[in-house]
Structures are given as C-alpha cells and as structure tokens.
Amino acid sequence: MDYKVMDDAELIKLYINGEEKALSALINKHEQRIFSYILSKIQNRDLANDVFQDVFVKIIKVFRSGRYNEEGKFLNWALRISHNLVIDHFRKQKRIPTISNKDDFDIFDIVKDSAEDVETGMIREQIEKDLHRLILELPPEQLEVLKLRHFSGLSFKDIADQTGVSINTALGRMRYALINLRKLMEQHNVSLSLS
C-alpha cells in the first residue's frame, strides 16, 4: 500500500481500523511542521522531543477512543494540541523550584532571557482566551458589571448610574460574577494564573 499518496483522512481511517503503518506515515508527513513549532517555543531539543511524544500520545488516544472529528484539518488540530502542551510545559516548569546562584556575579542578571518572555506571553495569551470564553457564560447583568468594572475601569457609582441600579446591587452583581467565574473555572478545569 502506498501511504505517500494518501491524504490525512485516509491515513487516519486506516490507522483507526488497525493499520499501524498508517500512523507512521502520518507522523512522517507532519513531524517537521509540528516539531519545528514546539522547538521554536521551547528552545530545547530534548524537551521538545518529550512534548512531541506527548502530542502524539494524546492524538493516538483520541483516535482510538473514536472521538476524532474528521471534519477538522489534522495538522491544525495537531498544532493546537502542541500549543496547549507547550503551555502546560511552561506552567509545570514554573512550579518546579530552582536553585539560585549564590555567587555575587550571575550572568543571568545581565543577559536577557527571551525564552521567558515567549513563555509568559503564551501563557498570558491562553489565560486571556480562557477568561474571555468563561465570562461569556455569566448571566448578562453580571457580565455587564464585570466588563464595566474591569475592562472600562468605571467606579461602582458610575456603573450604578449607567445600568440604572443602586451601588449595592452593582457590588452584589460583581460579587456573584466573581463567585460564578470561580465555579466556571472549576467546571472547565481552567487555571487563570501565571504561576
């Protein structure tokens, strides 16, 4: 069977039906694009190999569970998984305690660590996406107060005037918005923290 002429959907179908070589062909077809993406973010070949492996373990599990949606493009989906696992990697890394240099001179005091900027930026971007998705699930009156307070920077008096309610009601809505947001974070297993 010539796997090279097959498209992704055909390879995936064959693999799900038990043809292991189809997975090998699928990896071979996309490994460069996926690995390059991971390596460009992580900047460490060994760690990038670990993340690449985790990406395909996840992909295999989805294929075997029958949850793969054929409508989407495989590469885009695989890159989305890669992106999420890169973020998970940085999150885990930030939780690992590091030994600080006890000498007076530390090269890292003067050398700018650009990788730190990339990872912090990626996590922040993900947090913003998660937050945006979650706040849209809030009841409209709570969403309105949250937006006016945090995104428009209005005082509670201004919010009360603008929405035609008392200050106490505006404060109450804000309180419930935050309580509900915490519940939604738990339900969706979302962490909105850089650490």
Partner 1 sequence: MDKTTILENNNHVNARPDRQTIANILNFSKAYRHEKTKSGIEIELIQN
Interface with partner 1 includes 69 (CB under 8 A)? no
Residue 171 to residue 160: CA distance in whole angstroms: 9
Q: Which residues contact 79 (CB under 8 A, 6 or more apart)?
A: 33, 34, 37
Contact criterion met (CB below 8 Å) for 89 and 47: yes
Interface with partner 1 includes 103 (CB under 8 A)? no
Interface with partner 1 includes 61 (CB under 8 A)? yes
User: What minimum distance in Å lies between the beta carbon of 70 and partner 1?
Assistant: 18
CA neighbours closer than 13 Å in the CB half-sphere of residue 105: 1
Residue from 1, 9, 36, 72 that binds partner 1 (CB under 8 A)?
A: 36
Interface with partner 1 includes 145 (CB under 8 A)? no
Residue 52 to residue 12: CA distance in whole angstroms: 18
Interface with partner 1 includes 57 (CB under 8 A)? yes
How many residues lie near partner 1 (CB under 8 A)?
A: 21
User: What minimum distance in Å lies between the beta carbon of 66 and partner 1?
Assistant: 8
Report helix, strand or coil for 27.
Answer: helix
Which of the 8 DSSP states describes residue 4? G
Interface with partner 1 includes 60 (CB under 8 A)? yes
Which positions touch partner 1 (CB under 8 A)?
20, 23-24, 27, 31-32, 35-36, 39-40, 45, 48-49, 52-53, 56-57, 60-61, 64-65
